[in-house]
Amino acid sequence: MTNLRNELAFDVREVSYRYNQVAALNSLSMHVRRGERVALLGANGSGKSTLLRLLAGLCFPERGEISFLGESLTEHALRDEEFFYRFRRRVGLVFQNADVQLFSPSVFDELAFGPLQLRWPAQKIRDRVGEVLRSMDIAHLQDRAPHRLSGGEKKRVALASVLVLDPEVLLLDEPSGALDPSSQARIVDFLVSCGNGAKTVITSTHDLDTLEDIADRCYVFANGRVAAEGAPLEILHDVALLERAKLIRPHAHVHAHGEGGVQPHPHVHRGEGD
Amino acid sequence: MLPFAMHIPDGYLSPSTCATLAAAAAPFWYVALRRVKSALHARLIPLISLFAAFSFVIMMFNLPLPGGTTGHAVGMGVAAIVLGPWASILAISIALTIQAVFFGDGGITAIGANCFNMAIVGSLVGYGTYRLVAWRAALGSARRVAAAGLAGYTAINVAALCAAIEFGIQPLLFRDTSGAPLYAPYPLRIAIPAMMLGHLTLAGLAELVISSGMVAYLQRTDPGLLRATAPDAPPSDELVRPAGRDRRLPTARKLWLALAALLILTPLGILAVGSAWGEWSARDFADPQVRREIATASRNQAPPPAAPRGLERLSSIWTAPLSRYAPSFVRGASFGYLVSAMVGVGLIIVVAPLLNWLLALLPAARPGRRRKGFVEKTARGLLDVTEQALFAEDMAAASGFLQRLDPRVKLIGIGALIVAAVAVHRLWVLAGILALGVVLALASHIPIRLLTARVWLAVLAFTGAIALPAIFLTPGAAVWRVPLLGWAVTQQGVRSAAFLVLRAETAATLSTLLILTTLWTRLLHALRYFRAPIVIVAILGMTYRYMFLFLAAARDMFESRESRIVGVLAPSDRRRLAAASAGVLLGKTLQVSGEVHMAMQARGFRGEIRLLDDLQMRPNDWLRLAAFVGAATLAVWLGR
């Protein structure tokens, strides 16, 4: 296990990427070890989603290099069918917008999409899809069309559609964003259950409350660069850093103190960056 | 029924015409699919699907037109300008297919004809016009806005002309033994001016507004999107111009000027075609009732009159007096187009502001009924479509005879009955098929009240209005004369009107049964089984799915606008708002299509889609299928 722990799943070296002529990532370096759970923190537009797409081999850096398990991840490398299927089988990305990910006519078809593309035999697909439907508690939705699902259900189906391939690396783009508390708790429970080292999980988030539960290590992003790196508790205690990264907002706050009337004092709140 | 322009329903064209047009469309689809596939590779499926969903939603937009009326556009100008002609052919064909199959808008047997007119002819003419007029103008030039407007206007009018010709040749070719026309009853001389009148004016204007408005919006926000169809434009200012009031969007005055110019030019352009056809029909017809031609003019258009709802109330006002003294103009058929178009517009110019002024007085008198703005109307329309689709899904999930049927059996079975209904030449056989439809509805627990309101009365109102003049206009043995007026009702005319109405009713009943009892996902499975090209099945599935997303997005957009609008918007601002909404939706379409493609790639998609075949036909299914096909064959044999 220690051996596995030391091996790098992803190694990102000085990567730059522009999106519509605007720099999204600016000479960014980071790495993720196998079996590690890493959180990417940052306000909207700080480059988290872009990095996840680069890690998933969906876009490619203009400068710099990304390697996956020691192999260079480039557009050219992914043209090789053997590498393409090996990589797709092992790395799954759950998009921030579930509507983008649920493109099939029904939930069952959605789950079957990945295995079909990877050419699994039909019976294996049916068995595996049924298994995941049950384990994610969405079996009752299997014939439902995506436009008839609630926000929380969509998110669970999107996650299931990736888990059906049982990838060893999971990339999650704001998995608990815009969900009601109970749906949010389900997702967090799942991420906690990944803490045994069997899966490598990279989660982008700006939710500081659940950070300690879902990550062993975090990167803080600002303006397309890594602003800081460390264990969740270290990061959470660095108020100045969190303010700079626009993850919390300082404001004057008023408390009543008995007869003395009100006493304003500086104060910070954990909250969303936007 | 949705308020779309120009969708030919079932029963108006003979099966052989439908087959011919579908066959004529096939090579275009084939070439389009190959071209687009080689240009887009793996991006093909998400891009075409999302653009088809976008076209579908755009057709729901209520466009404010001069004079306080509103209209709907098909959007082929927009599609051809942004996507190029080939991708536009595919996207609009898919949108039309979904409309026919899920919303009963446009006939199932007429899908080929509708695609030929609107998707193929419309896209190619729109694209050609745009390229020709824009020539080498800069991407941000006013000339491109004008070219886009002209492209939309020309595209819909040429498409309407094709539909008019298809209607007009029906009575020449298809009659029963008594000489009564079996399908669309009017000859070319009537069909062409009748179709063109509405399209040269309001429907054309709606298309002009959306095409020019979208291009003006894209010039301001994302000129790169115009690059694909402008290879000759100087490689210059693709930088986004500073936001602000867009002066290039046509103001009302410019729109009127443009319309005036188009009204004079376009009819001249079609004269050559029109008169050639006219001669042919004149040889075959000695029509004594020419004076009624214009009376039918405003009504003899495929769907709810000429797109604009405003015209509905206007048409009854201005067709009445015209019927008395129009014949002298129209007798010289070529001159008739020009005059009828211009008279139509002239009257709209006079009547519309008057009507507006009258309506403006109403709220004071009846405070409960506020006049709806186009924003509100569009939001309402978008909601209606969504609800209609969800309702159909709920019905399909209930239990009943048809609901339990294997989707393949149902698709072929009902399809065979629809073809039989369109093919038979005897009224009693047609009535028999309709009765079978009613029995199937009862067995499937579909409320007859629902069928009455949503199908029978709607079709009667629409097709009935079109068929009514035919009882006077069709040459034949007079059976009765209208007292005082002396117009003769002919036996052939009555039969012809009965054919048209009964066919349209029967086909609409059957296709509604199919819509209300079949779950979309199961229908897609059925299509896979038939080895329908897997790309088409995937695109259809994705279009239907994202249609809901865009309907909701467009609704949100209009509702949030509605809540922010204070007071009354100037007409040119309203048009700008409608075009900008379409532009925002286009931006979203392209963004979502890019992301969907990534999401597909992330799960192993390399451009070739794979699907799971899992439905097995059971012996019972074969028996039921045989029963359906047997019934249809029997009907065709009895009704031959």
Q: Does residue B603 belong to the interface with chain A, where contact is any CB pair within 8 Å?
A: yes
pLDDT tens column, A240-257: 888 888 887 765 444 545
Are A162 and B603 in contact (CB < 8 Å)? yes
Across the interface, of B545, B548, B610, the residue whose CB is closest to A103 is B545
How many angstroms separate the CA atoms of B51 and B539, rounded?
10
Position B596 pLDDT exceeds 50: yes
Q: What are the residue ranges of helices labelled H in B298-426?
A: 309-325, 327-331, 333-365, 374-397, 401-404, 407-423
Cα–Cα distance, B62 to B67 (Å, whole number):
14
Q: Please list every residue in chain A whose beta carbon sits closer than 8 Å to the beta carbon of residue B595.
A: 95, 97, 100
Q: Count of CB atoms within 10 A of residue B93's CB?
A: 28
Quick check: B614 contacting A, CB < 8 Å? yes
Of the listed ranges B143-157, B419-433, B463-477, B603-617, the least confidently predicted one is B603-617
Rounded Cα distance between A270 and A236, Å, is: 9
State which H helix or E strand residue A35 sits in.
none
B288 backbone dihedrals φ, ψ, rounded to 5°:
-80, -10
Mean pLDDT over B565-575 rounds to 70
Specify the pLDDT at position B309: 33
| CB contact (8 A) between residue B612 and residue A116 | yes
Distance from CA of B346 to the nearest CA of A (A): 46
Which residue of B603, B608, B615 is the best one to mutate when testing the A interface, meaning the one whose CB has the most A CBs within 10 A? B603
**B 521-560 residues with CB below 8 A of A?**
521, 524, 541-542, 544-546, 548-549
Q: Do B606 and A126 touch (CB under 8 A)?
A: no
The answer to whether B487 faces chain A, any CB pair under 8 Å, is no
- Is 0.90 surpassed by the pTM of this model? no
Assess whether pLDDT exceeds 50 at residue B178.
yes
CA–CA dist B380, B512 (Å, integer): 22
What is the nearest CA distance from B601 to chain A, expressed in angstroms? 7
Residue at A100: amino acid letter: V
Put simply, whether B446 touches A (Cβ < 8 Å) is no
Query: In this complex, how many residue pairs, one in chain A and one in chain B, have their CB atoms less than 8 Å apart?
Result: 91
For residues B65 and B55, what is the distance between their CA atoms, to the nearest angstrom? 20
Could you tell me which chain B residue has the CA closest to the CA of A122?
B612
Least confidently predicted of B251-265, B412-426, B624-638: B251-265
Would you call B56 an interface residue with chain A, using a CB distance cutoff of 8 Å?
no
3-state secondary structure of B390: helix
Handedness of CA B238, B240, B244, B246 (dihedral sign): positive
Mutate to test the interface with B, among A54, A85, A93, A100 (most CBs of B within 10 A): A100
Average pLDDT over residues B231-245: 55
Distance from CA of A250 to the nearest CA of B (A): 31
Query: Is B598 in CB contact (< 8 Å) with chain A?
Result: yes
pLDDT over threshold 70, residue B291: no
pLDDT reported for residue B89: 92
List CB contacts (< 8 A) between A81 and chain B. Answer: 606
Contacts with B613 from chain A: Cβ below 8 Å: 122
- Would you state the pLDDT for residue B259? 63
Residues 6+ apart with CB under 8 A from B572: B249, B250, B251, B252
**Other CB atoms within 10 Å distance of the CB of residue B31:** 12
Residue B338's pLDDT is what?
52
Distance from CA of B281 to the nearest CA of A (A): 49
Choose the mutation target among A102, A103, A141 for the interface with B, i.e. most B CBs under 10 Å.
Answer: A103
φ, ψ at B470 (rounded to 5°): -65, -25
**Cα–Cα distance measured from residue B330 to residue B336, given in angstroms and rounded to the nearest whole number:** 4
* Distance of alpha carbon B571 from alpha carbon B575, whole angstroms: 6
Q: Check: CB of residue B607 under 8 Å from CB of residue B241.
A: no
Residue B61 to chain A, least CA–CA distance (Å): 21
**Interface contact flag, A114 B604, Cβ < 8 Å:** yes
B15, two tokens: 């099966």
Task: Choose the closest CB to B601 out of A58, A104, A109.
Answer: A58
Please tell me the predicted confidence (pLDDT) of residue A203: 92
| Contacts with B235 (C-beta within 8 Å, 6 or more apart), sequence order | none
C-alpha B215/C-alpha B230 separation (Å) is 12
Choose among B545, B548, B611: nearest Cβ to A116.
Answer: B611
pLDDT band of residue B66 (cuts 50, 70, 90) is low
Complete DSSP assignment for B81-99? HHH-HHHHHHHHHHHHHHH
Structure confidence at residue B358 (pLDDT): 59
Residues A88, B600: C-beta atoms closer than 8 Å: no
Using CB atoms, pick whichever of B548, B598, B613 lies closest to residue A58: B598
Burial grade of A140 (CB within 10 A; 0-12, 13-18, 19 or more): exposed
Q: Specify the residue for token string 């000339």.
A: B143
Question: In this model, does residue B364 exceed pLDDT 50?
Answer: no
State how far residue A137 is from chain B, nearest Cα, in angstroms.
21
- The contacts of residue B245 (CB under 8 Å, 6+ apart) are none
Q: CA B370, CA B567: separation in Å to the nearest integer?
A: 13
- List residues in chain A touching B: CB distance below 8 A: 53, 56, 58, 81, 84-85, 88-89, 92-93, 95, 97, 99-106, 109, 112-114, 116-119, 122, 125-126, 143, 145-148, 161-162, 165
Q: Verify whether the Cβ–Cβ distance A122 to B542 is below 8 Å.
A: no
Question: Strand B488-490 to strand B478-481: parallel, antiparallel, or no bridges (unpaired)?
Answer: antiparallel
Distance from CA of B114 to the nearest CA of A (A): 26
Residue B438 banded pLDDT, cuts 50, 70, 90: very high
Alpha-carbon distance B294 to B337, whole Å? 10
Q: Which residues of B touch A143 (CB under 8 A)?
A: 519, 521
Measured CA angle at B551 (ends B549, B554), to 5 deg: 105
* B206 contacts B306 by C-beta, under 8 angstroms: no
Residue A132: its pLDDT value, please? 92
Q: CA B156 to CA B202: how far, in whole Å? A: 11
Query: Whole-angstrom Cα distance, residue B459 to residue B506?
Result: 10
User: What is the C-alpha to C-alpha distance for residues A105 and B540, in angstroms, rounded to an integer?
Assistant: 9
Cα gap B550→B526, rounded to integer Å: 26
Q: Which residue of B has its CA nearest to A121?
A: B612
Percent of chain B with pLDDT over 90: 15
* Pairwise CA distance, residues A227 & A245, whole Å: 8
- C-alpha to C-alpha distances, B255 to B207, B325, B347, B424, B639, nearest whole angstrom: 12, 30, 17, 47, 52
Give the per-residue pLDDT at B295.
34
Phi, psi of A204 (to 5 degrees): -95, 135
Q: Would you call A30 helix, strand, or coil by DSSP?
A: strand
Mean pLDDT of chain B: 75
Element (H, E) at B237: none
The DSSP code for A238 is -
Q: Strand A200-205 to strand A37-41: parallel, antiparallel, or no bridges (unpaired)? A: parallel
- Pairing mode, strands A169-173 and A200-205: parallel
A58·B602 Cβ contact <8 A: yes
User: What φ, ψ does residue B108 adopt, rounded to 5°?
Assistant: -70, -40
Rounded CA gap, B46 and B35, in Å? 16
Tokens for B6?
């120009």
Q: Which of A85, A106, A116 sits opposite B610 (nearest CB)?
A: A116
Q: Are strands A22-33 and A8-19 parallel, antiparallel or unpaired?
A: antiparallel
CATH code of A2-270, in short, is 3.40.50.300
Of A16-30, A213-227, B114-128, B476-490, give the range with the top mean pLDDT. B114-128
Complex ipTM value: 0.86
What are the phi and psi torsion angles at A11 (to 5°)?
-130, 115
Residue B317: per-residue pLDDT: 32
pLDDT higher than threshold 70 for residue B393: yes
Cβ proximity of B402 and B568 under 8 Å:
no
The pLDDT assigned to A54 comes to 92
Q: How close A106 gets to chain B, by Cα (Å)? A: 6
**Is A147 close to B548, i.e. CB distance below 8 A?**
yes
Residues of A in contact with B610 (CB under 8 A): 116-117, 119
CA distances in angstroms from B552 to B401, B548, B555, B585, B595, listed in the order given: 33, 6, 5, 11, 18
B599 and A100 within 8 Å at the Cβ level: the answer is yes
* Nearest of B386, B345, B506 to residue B439 by alpha carbon: B506
Say if the Cβ atoms of B520 and A145 lie within 8 Å.
yes
Per-residue confidence (pLDDT) for residue B347, from 0 to 100: 54
- The pLDDT, as a whole number, for residue B217 is 84
E strand or H helix that includes residue A219? strand A217-222
Give the gap in angstroms from C-alpha B219 to the nearest C-alpha of chain A: 16
C-alpha angle A72/A76/A82, rounded to 5°? 80
Distance separating alpha carbons of residues B144 and B124, to the nearest angstrom: 17
The CA distance from B102 to the nearest CA of chain A, in Å, is 15
Is B385 touching A (CB cutoff 8 A)? Answer: no
The list of chain A residues with pLDDT below 70 reads 1-6, 20-21, 250-274
Chain B interface mutation, best of A78, A147, A154, A169, highest count of B Cβ atoms under 10 Å: A147
Per-position DSSP letters for B465-495, written without gaps between them: HHHTTHHHHS-S-EEEE-TTT-PEEEHHHHH
Higher pLDDT residue, B482 or B429?
B429
Contact B59, B95 (CB under 8 A): yes
Chain B residue at shortest CA distance from A85: B604
Measured in angstroms, the CA of B209 and the nearest CA of chain A are apart by: 29
* Nearest-neighbour CA in chain A from B73: distance (Å): 26
